[in-house]
Each structure stands twice: as structure tokens, then as C-alpha cells.
Amino acid sequence: MRRFKLLEPEDEESEEGEDRPGRSMKEWLKLLIWTLIWGGGTIWLTIAIMKVFKEKAQYF
């Protein structure tokens, strides 16, 4: 997790920032996999809940 330095009023803001290297292919792949897992799970759960409520609505 990245930590950010709090700027004091007398501090100068540097435009260059930290010299952090770009994300590697491995990091992008992990991000993609987690996005697919969480997104797919969320969509699946939403559809399952909608089906349950649709079935229960027939009794009213």
C-alpha cells in the first residue's frame, strides 16, 4: 500500500513526484483476474437474488 506525505504550507510541491516504476505484466494480470472474480461474483449474486424475489413475488 502506498503512503502519501502530507504537505505542510511551507513545503514546495514537486511536479516529478516519486520515481515509481510502472506496473509489471504480473501486476496487471493479478488485477485483471481479481476484477473478473469480483465482477463475475457480483453479477452472479445479483441475478440469484433477482430470481429468488421473482419467484416469491408470484405468491403475492
Stated pTM of the model: 0.47
| DSSP secondary structure, 1-60, as one string | ----PPPPTTSPPPSS---PPPPPHHHHHHHHHHHHHHHHHHHHHHHHHHHHHHHHHTT-
Distance CA 35, CA 57 (A): 33
Distance CA 42, CA 55 (A): 20
Distance CA 14, CA 46 (A): 45
Higher pLDDT, 12 or 43: 43
* pLDDT (tens digit per residue) in 17-36: 566 678 899 999 999 999 99
